[in-house]
Structure 1
Amino acid sequence: MNTIPQNDEQLRQEVSAKYARAALQVLGTPAEHAPSCCGPDCCEPSEKIAIQPVQTSSSCCVSTCCSSITDQGDPITTDLYTQMELGGIPIAAALASLGCGNPTALAELKPGETILDLGSGGGIDVLLSARRVGPTGFAYGLDMTDPMLELAKHNQKDAGIENVQFLKGIIEAIPLPDNSVNVIISNCVINLSADKRQVLREAHRVLTPGGRFAVSDIVVQGDLPPAIRRDMESWAGCMAGALEEDTYRSLLQAAGFIDIEVEVTRRYSLADIASNGINATIASLSPEERTSVDGRFISAFIRARKPEEQEV
């Protein structure tokens, strides 16, 4: 079991390294000294793309190829996008999808709006958003991992979508001015931050008055056993970093948001959690701890709004 670094910057580097390996695998570039998620018989990228192209969501920071080949998708990341959505974007964007929801389908994006995706990865949600807001709108993607940015820009070029810009940076310090975007989306990324309070403050800062916060994220209902909180694999797998639901609401409110809603979109069993790369951690729990975890992890769509100036 790998324990979570105590230093925030070290934690950020560990998470970035895991996402970089996922991007490099999709790009077909081996990560130096990084073990592959698949065995020695794993197919080449060109072969991966040809197999079941509408079922290519991958494990959250665990595998980007095995689930699409075996058709035994990760319970968190599979079946998030419709065939119509996947048919309109490069297949590599789907192969690098590491999310836990489909915020573009739930955010009610409107033509002409400016969208920001926090932790945009291979760009799937940015590209879908850009299509939804149309040529009069614009979509930004923010990511800290160079290989993911490279993959996203490659996917943008392949898709021929121009109203998109991918930015390098961290979600705790968004490189955009105040009041500059209408909608913030994110797909299973905020839970990875060591300073979620700052992420939500930054989200509030860059939103226009009346702007909408509409993210998919992993949330826990109740306390987590300490062993899961300490496990680096479960953190990068969207588990250990999950906020408790009431804490998420409180942090949004403290950041200045109103109209806060948490909608459960999926609920995960103990077997689902174990299959997400933390089987050894689950095995180490006591029977009472296992019972406490079963069904407590959820994927949720989290909505909130920045008040209009007259509402402040």
Structure 2
Amino acid sequence: MSTGCCNKTVPTNNEDIKDAVRKAYADVAVKNSAGEVSGNPLSCCGAPKDTDVDYSKALGYSEDEIGSVLDGANMGLGCGNPTAIAALKPGETVVDLGSGGGFDCFLAARKVGSSGRVIGVDMTPEMIIKSRKNASKNGLNNIAEFRLGEIEYLPVADGIVDVIISNCVLNLSTNKNQVYREAFRVLKSNGRLAISDVVATTEMPEAIRKDLELYNNCMAGATPINELKEGLRAAGFIDIRVTVNEQSRQFIEKWSYDKGAENYVASASIEATKP
């Protein structure tokens, strides 16, 4: 099923790109809340009406994690499990970049406990509404909160965060270096970055890079690994590690509507530390 972006090219204006992404994910939030399928349910920017357990397991979530959060939060909008690499501890403060329906926030809340704090940031009002409702349904209002904002300009104070997580969102940004700088700003000294995202493993053809559907589906905007590392390094991060999951190409192939994106991108775990 199409997201409605077929045969459209990525706009040249950054604000137009943001608007296209915002509209795509607003549609996901509204339709999922109504119990409908949105976009390509096999991709990271579509959603089935019910939780796809097998897909979630393929992304690295355990059955316990999948079953611990009520339906409605896990819409399958990701390419990995950032909480699995975050090594979260009780009492820590966590920020989730592009928090969607709140699934990863709620998993993080279980790990940081009542003495911790989880802040989800999303630029789509419909997602913020959905995540706040999910927080109430899951009894996590006292730990998890959700703020409307862009990940390039985080509505979070300087130096208060222990860990930043994110799941298949950085590649949607029009200014990734600004995201890295913002992540660095809000982290404490020795704070950690633990992100699951799609990266470019080889140069992409222009037809893929300019395909709006593939951009919204988290592929066309993927950053080359060397460029990603350099951006993090320039922002001030150290101990940068990018671990590519080659098996992810199997589900990326399903995302790309036979356009061959799996030959150029793969999901990866991205880790770094603020000195």
Aligned positions of 1:248-259 closer than 5 A? 248-259=228-239
Query: Deviation digits for residues 145-165 of structure 1, max 9, x if unmatched?
Result: 111111111110111012111
Query: Deviation digits for residues 210-232 of structure 1, max 9, x if unmatched?
Result: 10011001011111000000000
TM-score (norm: length of structure 1) = 0.80
- Which has more radius of gyration? 1
Aligned positions of 1:45-64 closer than 5 A? 59-64=43-48
The alignment status of 1:109 with 2:88, answered yes or no, reads yes
- Percent of residue pairs identical: 42
AA paired with 2:28? A
User: Which of 142, 155, 163 pairs up with 2:121?
Assistant: 142
The answer on whether the counterparts of 2:180 and 2:235 sit within 8 Å (CA) in structure 1 is yes
The answer on whether the counterparts of 1:101 and 1:187 sit within 8 Å (CA) in structure 2 is yes
TM-score (norm: length of structure 2) = 0.90
CA distance in 2, matches of 1:2, 1:224: 17
The corresponding residue for 2:266 is 298
Query: Deviation digits for residues 246-282 of structure 1, max 9, x if unmatched?
Result: 100000000000000011234444x744421443xx2
CA distance in 2, matches of 1:294, 1:22: 23
The corresponding residue for 2:10 is 4
In the alignment, structure 2 segments of 5+ residues that lack a partner are: 1-6
CA distance in 2, matches of 1:138, 1:268: 31
CA distance in 2, matches of 1:206, 1:300: 23
The answer on whether the counterparts of 2:46 and 2:77 sit within 8 Å (CA) in structure 1 is no
Displacement of 1:72: 8.3
The corresponding residue for 1:52 is none
AA paired with 1:135? S
In the alignment, structure 1 segments of 5+ residues that lack a partner are: 39-56, 283-289, 308-312
The answer on whether the counterparts of 1:122 and 1:151 sit within 8 Å (CA) in structure 2 is yes
CA distance in 1, matches of 2:94, 2:59: 23
SS of equivalent residue, structure 1 residue 62: coil
AA paired with 1:304? A
The corresponding residue for 1:237 is 217
The answer on whether the counterparts of 2:190 and 2:273 sit within 8 Å (CA) in structure 1 is yes
Aligned positions of 1:35-114 closer than 5 A? 37=39, 59-65=43-49, 68=52, 73=55, 78-94=58-74, 96-114=75-93
The corresponding residue for 2:197 is 217
Alpha-carbon RMSD across the aligned residues, in angstroms, is 2.3
